[in-house]
Amino acid sequence: MKRIHIVGRKNHGKTTLIVELIGELTRIGQKVGVIKHSSHKHELDTPGKDSHRQRLAGASPVSIVSDNLIGIYMPRSSGSEFYESLKPLYRNCDLVLVEGHIDGSGPKLEVWRSSAGEGGPLAENRSDIAAVITDDQAKVSIPVWSRSDIERLAERLGRFLEGNGQSWDDGPVR
């Protein structure tokens, strides 16, 4: 599974960027999957509903199927490598964008907006972030890519995947 983590602080635009990248990547023929990672422990199913009761009784996995969607609930032990469990579901994807999971393995791009507050980019203090995506001035020693140029961002992701993850940078963006 070729995945790239889109990371950043709360309200810095991760979801918005991912939605825009999905639109551009699918426009150019890429099949894109998404994994939304939450660092909080919470119930995803609706307590009291049939699927929840069936899961509590011991069924695993539990699936909900409608005319247009399938939802699957599977247990996960803390600290387990869940990407391996999900890999078969994403086998036909050219790229999987992971929203968050900053401490997970894999390449990371940070979305940062100075107007969202909370200080500078996380990349100032982390060596595992490959580039910062922003239209603001970011004082980092890694590449800074323009947030407003979705076509160029999609091109970079495509080149990165074609190069088997060897290089992010193809020269300055600004």
109 three-state secondary structure:
strand
For residue 94, the model assigns a pLDDT of: 92
Our count of domains for the chain comes to 1
Q: How far apart are the C-alpha atoms of 13 and 76, rounded to whole Å?
A: 28
Which CB contacts under 8 angstroms, 24+ apart, belong to 101-107?
101/5, 101/7, 101/35, 101/37, 101/39, 102/5, 102/7, 102/126, 104/5, 104/37, 106/3, 106/4, 106/5, 107/3, 107/4, 107/5, 107/160, 107/165, 107/168
Whether 68 is in a domain gets the answer: no
Contact call for residues 96 and 1 (beta carbons, < 8 A): yes
Identify the DSSP state of 73: E
pLDDT higher at 43 or 27: 27
Domain of residue 104, residue span: 3-42+78-162
For residue 56, being part of any structural domain is answered with no
Q: What is residue 167's predicted lDDT score, i.e. its pLDDT?
A: 55
Condensed to tens digits (0 to 9), the pLDDT of residues 110-169 reads 999 999 988 899 999 999 999 999 999 999 999 999 999 999 999 988 887 777 555 555
pTM across the whole model: 0.85
- For residue 113, being part of any structural domain is answered with yes
Q: Tell me if 124 is assigned to some domain.
A: yes
Per-residue pLDDT tens digits for 45-82: 878 888 888 888 888 888 888 899 888 888 877 766 78
- Residue 130 falls within a domain, yes or no? yes
pLDDT value for 140: 94
pLDDT over 80 at 3, yes or no: yes
